[in-house]
Each structure stands twice: as C-alpha cells, then as structure tokens.
A and B are shown apart, each in its own frame.
Chain A
Amino acid sequence: MKKIKRAILYVVLIFYAVISLYPLLWMFLYSFKDNNEIFVTNPFGLPKVWRFENYVNAFTQFDVLTYFKNSMIVAAATIFLVELSALLFCYVIARVKNRLTGFLHFLVSSGMFIPIQAVMIPLVITVRKFGFTNSLLSVIVPYTALGLPFACMLFYGFYLGIPVELEESAFMDGANLGKIYFKIILPQMKSPIVVLVIYQFMSCWNEFNLALIMLTKNHLKTLPLGLVNFWTAYQAQWGEVGAAMIMASIPILVIYLFFSNQITESMAISGMKN
C-alpha cells in the first residue's frame, strides 16, 4: 500500500515535469522542421532532416544580436544602479534612526505594492518631454526606481545584522564614513548583493509592459519586444520563428543549467521578503 502511494506521488511529479518541459522540447524540435513536417507528416517526432537553415535564416532576418545587446545593457545598467543606490540608501536608514529616515523607509517599502500601471502614463509623458525617447535610459531609470523597494527590504535586514562596533572603532581611528563604508561594510554584504543581482536580472530581462510603451524605435528594442516583431512578420514560418525563440531563450537556460540552485534560492528569498 505504501509503495503504491509513493509510486503515485512520483507519477504526479513526473507528469508535471513533463507539462513544464514538453512544450519547450516540442518547440526545440519544430525549430528544425519545415511546415509540412510540423503540420502534417511529423508533428511530434524528431526531425527527419535537421534543418539548420532555419537557424541561419532566423539569424540573418532577425536582428537577434542588437536586441540581445540592448537587453544586456538594460539589465547591467539597472542592476548596477539599483545595487549602488539601494546599498547606500539602506545603510543610512538602518543606521540613523529618526523621523525622516523612518518616513523614507516606509515610503520606499510601500512602493512594493504599487502596480507599474500606476506611474506609466506620467512617465511616458515625462520621458517624451525630456527627449529620452531615443535612449535606453527611458527604461533603465524606471526599472531602477521600481527595483528599489525590494532591494531595500533585502539590504535593510542584513545591515541590522552587522554590528555597529566595527564602524565605531574605525571612526575612532579617524576614518571618514565614505572610506569606512567601502572598506568595512560593503565586503560583508556579498550574499544579499548576489541575491539582488539575480532577482533584478530576472525582472528586467523579462519586462515587457513598460518597454513596449517606452521603446518604439527598432534599434532600441529589447529581446522580448524584438521577438514579437519577428513573429508577427514571419507568422507563417513556424520553423524560423521557433529557431529565433530558441536562440532568444538559450542564454538564460544555459546560465540556469549551471547556477540553478543559486538562482532558485535567490528567488525564494525574494518571495520571503515580500
């Protein structure tokens, strides 16, 4: 009886693993097929001929490198700005306790619950007014602001765990706060910094809504937007579109293959902090 129960549990677990992965496998396989094979002769099996030309076509017609580069710039710049501004800001609110810092802490934390739509229209108008429409800054700066609430919750707890005595003795030796922070405090923040890098990367790599409204010029589009361009233009060629989608997904899947435990653990922390 116990054995049967366990067997059923494993069947359920495997069944959902198939639901999670099979659509991807199906996409991977059809990215090597032509329409005739996908639609009629061989929708499920391995490709009869591995048509690598789908990838060549997709690569030449779809500006994957530009979109990829844009996404990388946006992610890297956002991560850097959120880390820097949140680390410094949180240090102040964790160490200085007065009404002003308490208010700022509350203000930034409550940003967690604000949906992106709440600020979208004024942002678009502001960005247009200041002529940022031709720049990736039009998404980098908003992503930075939207990333602050979570970053602050994450760092705040860690700062409280670092004993103040360390800094105070350094003060006695006559060092200034800037020096002390970067020499003594910052090195102890390694683990939350890594957690934030992963979380921030995931959230801006996949962000779609704001990018759709801000980035209208083709040469500025990020990967999710570029893909949409490609699949609306090549709607009839499943193989090529599949190839483009596989190319767009491979970098993050490869990263995940090597760092899956770090990534899942960081993301779990992000949920706990909510």
Chain B
Amino acid sequence: MNSALLKKNRKWLILFAAPAVIIFGIIIIIPLFQTFYYSTFEWNGIKLGEFLGTGNYRKLFSSREINTSLINSIVYAVFLVIYQVGLGTFFAFLLTQSKIRGAVFFRNVYFVPVLLSVSVVSQLWIWIYNGDYGLINQLTKLLQIDWSQNWLNQKWTSLLAVAFVESWKGMGYIMLIIYAGVRNIPEVYHEAASIDGASAVQKFFHITVPLAAPTIRITVVMCLTNGFRAFDTTYLMTGGGPGIYTYNLTIMMYQAMMGRNDYGYGSAIAAFIVVICVGLMYVINTLTKRYDKIYD
C-alpha cells in the first residue's frame, strides 16, 4: 500500500491491530514471562514468598516422580508418533492411490474419533479396558483366550493403554494432514516420471515419499510435543495412577497447583514443559534441515 494512504488511515490501522495485540499480550506474552518469573519463588498463589532462585527446579529434579514422569512422557510421545504418524502415513498413501475405491469414505470414517469429546472417549475406553466386564476381556473370553487382565491397573499396560486411546482418537487428524500433503504434490512430477519410464514403485519412493516428507515431519513434531504436554486422557483415565505408574509432567503440574497450592513449583514444571517442547521442535528442525534444501 502506498505511504500517503497509510498516513491518512493511521488511526484505522491502529484500531484494526489493537484488539488482537492487546488480547495476545495479556493472555500469552505477559503470562509466559510470569511463569518463568514465578518459577523462582515460593508462591501459594496469593502472596509471593521467598526468592528461591533455582530452588523449585532442584526440587523438581530430585522429586520422587520425576524419573517415572519423564520416562512415561517419552514412551507416550514415541507411542503417539509410531501409531499416529506410522498408521497415518500408511493410510494416507493408500487412500491417495487412484485405484482405491471409497477413499473419501474411509478418510471420513477414520476422522470420526477426532470429533468426540475427550471425556466421552476416556470413559468409553475405561469400560473397554474394564477388568471384569470390559469389551476386550469379554472378547477374549468369547474367543476362549485366557488373556483377561486389569488393563488400567498394572504398571506398563496402564501407560500403553492410555497412549493407545489418545492415538486412536487423534490418528484421523494426523492422517488427514499427510493425506492433504500427498494430494498437494503437483501431478506434473508423476507425469514427467512416467514419460521417463519410471514404474509405480519408483515413482512412489522417488516422488511421493520425498515430497511428502516435510508434511510428515510436521506431524512428527506435533505428536512428540503433544506427548509431552498431554494431560486430558491421562487425567481422566488413570489420574496418574495406579500409584505413580502413569504420572507425567502435566499431572505433576496439576498436582502442584490444585493439590498443594504450590504455584511456584507448578510454574517451574510448566517452564520445563515449555523448554522441552520448544527444544524438541528446534532439534527436529535442525536435524532435518538438509532435506528442505534438496526439495525446495
């Protein structure tokens, strides 16, 4: 826009930009700094107490739950990537093949769990996993396999069971993103390759896969960071239990806030989650940077 017009309409421009800037500043920017600031204090949410420096962080890293929480978060995040990106990529590639009939139907069906409320999904699966009358145990009984167990009440099965539910709920969304990424590959590449005599398999590995790679990378980052900030499903299905077997950082933070009113400690956990999420994204982007250059 030319500068005379800008000057004349300065008031309008400020008026246009102001609401978003104010809301974003008050709700995101200031609290973000506050989180880091408060994490260095003893704080009960009402009166700011003693300055602790790194005290809350030291408390976090020497706490009883930190090892379990970190391992759980890693397992959870990796599980999400394997299930959602793995299956998502598989189905996305499959459904974009022109030979598959009913591709839109399958795409839409796989998306249904994404629509459901997390509390519906959690309760539904609590009963699917139920030790006495759950769907899984009833099915195994029907098939006469002695496999019944109390899925949500044991050490590893509980964590994997919850991770499975979150993956089940979100797979359709991840698949959809990859599906759109594959569909966006310009047809000319395939045509050019066909003219050069490339086979379907060659085209798949030399055109589809590399050109879909940036999209897949995005979904990997999404799944990994989701794994570290996931709260809802774990909170609803196990609340971190049995014992602390399904604890993770967000549950620790919730406990610090609502259970102990220890807001300084809670802020330290929150700051740690931010560092992990931003760090992960940075690491993945750096590691995969060279691929961008090849296909840009």
Binding site for B on A (CB under 8 A): 6, 9, 12-13, 16-17, 19-21, 23-24, 26-27, 38-39, 43-44, 81, 84-86, 88-89, 91-93, 95-96, 101, 104, 107-108, 111, 113-126, 128, 141-142, 144-146, 148, 152, 164, 167-168, 171, 176-178, 181, 202, 205-206, 208-209, 212-213, 223-225, 227-228, 231, 238, 241, 245, 248-249, 252-253, 256, 260-261, 263-265, 267-269, 271-272, 274
Contact = CB atoms under 8 A, between A and B. Distances in A.
Nearest to B138: A43
A206 B114 CA distance: 9
B96 interface: no
B30 A43 contact: no
**Contact-size category for B:** 35 or more
10 contacts: A85-B19, A86-B20, A117-B274, A119-B31, A121-B34, A122-B31, A123-B31, A145-B28, A148-B23, A253-B115
Contacts of A26: 128, 135
B35 A213 contact: no
A42 B24 CA distance: 54
Contacts of A20: 109-110, 112-113, 168, 172
A125 B109 CA distance: 42
A96 B5 CA distance: 11
Contact of A272 (B184, B271, B281): B184
A176 B24 contact: no
10 nearest CB pairs, A to B: A271-B177, A145-B27, A89-B20, A268-B180, A122-B31, A177-B12, A119-B31, A122-B34, A88-B16, A177-B9
Contact of A248 (B20, B104, B120): B120
A121 B21 contact: no
Interface of B: 1-2, 5-6, 8-9, 12-13, 15-17, 19-21, 23-24, 26-32, 34-35, 38, 45, 87, 91, 94-95, 99-100, 102, 104, 106-120, 123-125, 127-128, 132-133, 135, 138, 142, 168, 172-174, 176-177, 179-181, 184, 215, 218-219, 222, 225, 228-229, 231-232, 235-236, 250, 253-254, 257-258, 263, 266-267, 269-271, 273-274, 277-278, 281
B108 A125 contact: no
A44 B116 CA distance: 22
Residue among A119, A176, A261 facing the most chain B CB atoms (10 A cut-off): A119
A178 B12 contact: yes
A256 to B, nearest CB: 6
Contacts of A86: 20
Contacts of A268: 176-177, 179-180
B94 A209 contact: no
